[in-house]
Amino acid sequence: MAVIFEDVRWFRLDNVPVIATFVDRAPTIDLGLSFDLRRIPRRYYKYLPILPKCLDSLGLKTADKIIS
């Protein structure tokens, strides 16, 4: 399925480069993250594979419920 991006914006948020794309009524939400690993000490590299699982456990809290 091809996605037509109606609006693409490039900006910085707290000096972090951001590319935002907006589509009309997207069926799902995809989020991509990239990290600059140059400042992470090599001894912590072994923990990086657990990062995606940590992000899987995030949710959205609304006024009356939490959506996983």
pLDDT digits (tens, 9 = 90+) for 3-48: 555 678 889 989 889 888 776 665 666 677 777 888 889 899 899 8
Domain membership flag for residue 24: yes
pLDDT of residue 12: 93
Measure Cα distances from 6 to 2, 9, 60, 67 in Å.
13, 10, 25, 27
Domain membership flag for residue 40: yes
Domain membership flag for residue 14: yes
Question: What total of structural domains would you count in the chain?
Answer: 1
pLDDT of residue 63: 84
pTM of the predicted structure, to 2 decimals:
0.39
Domain membership flag for residue 21: yes
Domain membership flag for residue 1: no
The SS3 call for residue 45 is: helix
Domain membership flag for residue 2: no
Q: Which domain does 27 fall in, by range?
A: 7-67
Question: Are the beta carbons of 24 and 13 closer than 8 angstroms?
Answer: no
pLDDT of residue 38: 86
